[in-house]
Every structure is written in C-alpha cells, then in structure tokens.
A = this chain, B = another copy of it.
Amino acid sequence: MTDVLEQLRKAVGDPFVLSGSQVHADYTHDEAMTARPVTPVAVVRPASTAEVADILRTASQMRVPVVARGSGTGLSGGCLPVSDGIVIAFDRMRTIKEIDPENQVAVVEPGVTLEDLDRALAPRGLVYPVSPGEVSASLGGNVATNAGGMRAVRYGVTRQHVLGLEVVLADGTVMRTGGKFVKSSSGYDLTQLLVGSEGTLAVTTEITLKVHPRLIESVTILAPFATLAEVARAVPPIVNSGVDPSILEYIDVLAMGGITASAGLDLGIPEEIKAAALAYLVVVLDGMHADRLEEDVAALGTLLSTIGALDVFVLPSGAGAALISARERAFFVSKAAGADDIVDAVLPRAGIPAYLARVADLADRYGALITGCGHVGDGNVHLSVFLPDVERRHALLDEIYETAIAAGGAVSGEHGIGTEKVSYFLDTADAVNLDLMRSIKRVFDPLGILGPGRLLGTGWATS
C-alpha cells in the first residue's frame, strides 16, 4: 500500500492524501443508521478532473477499490469506505463552472452543494428544484443516488435534471455524455445509465443541470385527517385536479409531534382537531401570480374538505416555511429519537393506503414502532422503524419491502441501495434485471474496483 499512497501523492499532492490517523472520522461513514464506520487506506482529495483520472489510473493498475464521496449525507451507505480501498472526496471540487440563463443550465463540479448552487441561482431568478432535504448534500452525491425530495411531485428527481456528465471511467479515461441540450435521440442514453448508479460505473467530475425560472409566490396548506388511509386516499384527486402542487407530503401524528417539538413550532391547530387527527397532509403551491395562487388555494381547500380533511389551515408564510424546513429535518429527528432504520420504498401512489395499513399490521405483529412521513404525492413514503433487535428488524423489513414490491413498487424511491439495502434489493430484484445490471457493471468496471459491494452485492465475479 505504500506504493499506492506514493502514486496518489504524486497525483494530487502530499497534503491531499490522508491516511492513518489523518483520516477524520467524518470520512468513515455517511448518515445511514445501520452502517458501522469503516476507515479506508486513504482519503484522496483531488482538485481537478485530471487528478481524478490519475487517481483512477493508479487504482486500476494496483487494483485498489475506490469509493467516491460528496458531502456524506447519504442514507444508505453509498459512500461508506472499504477498508482495503481509498475514498475520493470531492470537497475540493466545489466550483460552479457556469450558470447559463439563456439555456437554463448550470454546470457544476461534483462537490458543489445544493446550498452553493441555490445561492448562485437565486439572484438570477433561477432555481434547481430538486430538494432532497439536506442542503449541504453535494450534486455529485445527488447524481449518484438519483436524489429526489419533496418537490419531485412537480419537478421530477435528479434524473430529470441531469443533461450531461463528465465522468472518469475505472481505467482513468475521461468521458463526456449529453450536453446543454434538453433532448436527444442519438444512441443509448449513457447519462441516464450513470445517474443513480451509485458510483459503481464511473466517477462523476462535472454535471450539466437543467434549471428553471424561480417561482416567487408560495402558499403552504396543512390538512389534518382522521386516519392514515384517508390522507393517502386524498392524494390522487389532488394530483388529478390540476393544481400541480410542488410539495405534497404526508406526516403521521407521531412524526408531526416529533418534528414540531424539535423545531419549537406551534402551527396553531386547535386541540380538538389535534386530538382527532392521526395524519396530516402538507401541500405547497408555488407560482408567479399571487391572485392565481389564492384561487388555487380556495379550490384546493374545497377539494380537501370534500375528501375528508378535518380542517384546512392556510399557514402564514413564516409558519409554512418553518414547517417545510422542520419536515426536511424529519430524518434527523427520527435518528435523535433512536430510530433503528429508515425505509424509503416507492410504489404506485394509489397503493399507499393499503401499504400503510399492511405496515401498521406488521409493526403490531413485530412489536415495532413505525412512524412515517414522506412524499405521498409520488408514492414514496419514508418509514422510521424503531426495533432494536437486528434479526427481528431484518425480518420485519423483509416483509415491508416484499409488500412494496408486491404492490408494484421498488426498494428505494430516492435514497439508493448503497451498502445498507443490498440484501433487501437482491432478495427482491428480478433475476434477469440483476444479471443485465451486473453485465453492464462488468463493461464499465471489469476489475470491479468502483464501489465494491454496494448496489449489486458481492460474490459475483467482475473480471
């Protein structure tokens, strides 16, 4: 390994290769609840694509596993180091290379955070609308996991916003895909293949993103419902009504208690409603015209009343923003409360009521506490599972994932598979799909050095 470190130091300069005690604990984990920290052989901090290419050439020659890392805010262990490998940390590649308002495009390095990008876009009246909740997340990480978030119901996820990539292949070759154009029918869409591949096919060094005009008006509506099933059943009519909400979240009574308490937030909901409500729907409408929003809010209010809402609260803008930002921290509230794992299965949105009912049954049967909130508008509910016993929890999660798959869903809506959900993914994946994915992996990474063990598991040959 001395050789490897020497080569890496040549590639990026001595101060940017950290090994042994220089490896700060932050680099040894992400935010996954279930993963144990792993110290890699080295953390390498390149400043350019050329340096990343050098690192990968070295890694290929010496067959050293490589894990790419953005801000480390992932929830599935996607950037968890491997003990005999290196971590490429992108905290020095944080340049916004270009904001091009005419083409509605931003070009960024992978270490740029959502916060960085928003700060640069806002003064130009533009927005990158994908908001996975953690503004310190990096765009490189977002591309790796195909991050989603609350605004996906209107704007789609990362995938729909990546127009082009520059990546470094396992052998150090630099490749560009796509570009500043919004569509193409010119060969297989390698950009789309790379988005969501969790660092197992290539290492991203530049991202061309589609951005949108920034909407200036926003209204947050909170509707309590008597039951989980009712709140979930309210979703299709809202989506079909054409009001086009930018956020459509459900929060169950436990999650609501946690996030409002943690944020010190009083939404002014009368006690008798609170007592009767088991779940809340949060709807945000955005637009350019205050009068139209007002009209839409009124129409939505009427609709909500007819589909079972106990009441409809149009929140003052400060409280609305505070609720959304509290909701964004729901994961950390769960974590602080001692949640043992988080489930982000996705399913056809109309299947959510039956899914949640089944989850409640399973929670009872296993003696687990399961609270939920999430993107009910796009069928992606996040469940916080409190059940310390590892084996029982695995069995419970197996049943939850099987329920989601049986309802026509998938294991992860937006967090990715990483290292932590591999067993659930492999247990439920279609064998033909999985074979093809592994064959594609071999094409890109014949030596199997990129993100070993994550997404596709171990124990199948890559060379």
Which residue numbers of A lie inside 8 Å of B, CB to CB? Answer: 100-105, 125, 145-148, 152, 156-157, 159-160, 169, 173, 175-177, 179-190, 192-193, 195-197, 201, 213, 215, 236, 239-242, 288-289, 292, 295, 346-350, 378-380, 408-417, 425, 429-430, 432-434, 436-437, 439-440, 443-444, 455-456
Asked if residues A436 and B425 are in contact (CB atoms below 8 Å), the reply is: no
CA of A102 to CA of B379, assembled, Å: 12
Asked if residues A182 and B350 are in contact (CB atoms below 8 Å), the reply is: no
CA of A159 to CA of B191, assembled, Å: 12
Asked if residues A346 and B410 are in contact (CB atoms below 8 Å), the reply is: no
Asked if residues B347 and A169 are in contact (CB atoms below 8 Å), the reply is: no
Known: A169-B432, A348-B179. A196 touches B189 (CB 8 A): yes
Please name all residues of chain B whose beta carbon is closer than 8 Å to the beta carbon of A195 when the two chains form the complex.
189
List 4 additional A-B contacts (Cβ < 8 Å) besides A146-B184, A182-B346.
A102-B350, A104-B240, A187-B425, A192-B192
Closest B residue to A186 by beta carbon equals B410
Asked if residues B378 and A183 are in contact (CB atoms below 8 Å), the reply is: yes
- Mind listing 9 A-B residue pairs with CB under 8 Å? A103-B236, A103-B349, A104-B240, A152-B183, A180-B348, A181-B410, A187-B196, A188-B201, A192-B192
Please name all residues of chain B whose beta carbon is closer than 8 Å to the beta carbon of A169 when the two chains form the complex.
432
Please name all residues of chain B whose beta carbon is closer than 8 Å to the beta carbon of A160 when the two chains form the complex.
156, 160
CA of A347 to CA of B164, assembled, Å: 13
Asked if residues A350 and B103 are in contact (CB atoms below 8 Å), the reply is: yes
Asked if residues A433 and B190 are in contact (CB atoms below 8 Å), the reply is: yes
Closest B residue to A101 by beta carbon equals B240
Closest B residue to A287 by beta carbon equals B242
Please name all residues of chain B whose beta carbon is closer than 8 Å to the beta carbon of A412 when the two chains form the complex.
184-186
Asked if residues B156 and A183 are in contact (CB atoms below 8 Å), the reply is: yes
Asked if residues A186 and B425 are in contact (CB atoms below 8 Å), the reply is: yes
Q: Nearest-CB distance from A28 to chain B (Å)?
A: 23
Please name all residues of chain B whose beta carbon is closer than 8 Å to the beta carbon of A417 when the two chains form the complex.
185-187
Known: A213-B242, A432-B169. A193 touches B188 (CB 8 A): yes
Q: Nearest-CB distance from A250 to chain B (Å)?
A: 16
Asked if residues B346 and A183 are in contact (CB atoms below 8 Å), the reply is: yes
Q: Nearest-CB distance from A155 to chain B (Å)?
A: 11
Please name all residues of chain B whose beta carbon is closer than 8 Å to the beta carbon of A440 when the two chains form the complex.
188, 193, 440, 443
Known: A432-B175, A443-B440. A181 touches B102 (CB 8 A): no
Asked if residues A379 and B182 are in contact (CB atoms below 8 Å), the reply is: yes
Asked if residues B148 and A183 are in contact (CB atoms below 8 Å), the reply is: yes
Known: A100-B350, A188-B440, A288-B242. A409 touches B213 (CB 8 A): no
CA of A104 to CA of B455, assembled, Å: 29
- Between A346, A444, A456, the greatest number of chain B beta carbons within 10 A of the residue's beta carbon is seen for A346
Please name all residues of chain B whose beta carbon is closer than 8 Å to the beta carbon of A439 when the two chains form the complex.
443
Closest B residue to A180 by beta carbon equals B348
CA of A186 to CA of B169, assembled, Å: 21
Asked if residues A410 and B179 are in contact (CB atoms below 8 Å), the reply is: yes
Asked if residues B348 and A181 are in contact (CB atoms below 8 Å), the reply is: yes
Q: Nearest-CB distance from A166 to chain B (Å)?
A: 11
Please name all residues of chain B whose beta carbon is closer than 8 Å to the beta carbon of A380 when the two chains form the complex.
181, 183
Asked if residues A159 and B437 are in contact (CB atoms below 8 Å), the reply is: no
Per CB-CB distance, the 6 closest pairs between chain A and chain B, nearest first, are A102-B350, A180-B348, A192-B192, A186-B410, A102-B236, A439-B443
Asked if residues B288 and A187 are in contact (CB atoms below 8 Å), the reply is: no
CA of A144 to CA of B416, assembled, Å: 28
Asked if residues B159 and A189 are in contact (CB atoms below 8 Å), the reply is: yes
Closest B residue to A239 by beta carbon equals B104
Closest B residue to A147 by beta carbon equals B185
Please name all residues of chain B whose beta carbon is closer than 8 Å to the beta carbon of A433 when the two chains form the complex.
175-177, 187, 190
Asked if residues A185 and B413 are in contact (CB atoms below 8 Å), the reply is: yes
Asked if residues A409 and B236 are in contact (CB atoms below 8 Å), the reply is: no
Known: A175-B430, A241-B213. A185 touches B181 (CB 8 A): no
CA of A347 to CA of B289, assembled, Å: 32
Asked if residues B183 and A347 are in contact (CB atoms below 8 Å), the reply is: no
CA of A100 to CA of B347, assembled, Å: 14
Please name all residues of chain B whose beta carbon is closer than 8 Å to the beta carbon of A102 when the two chains form the complex.
236, 240, 349-350
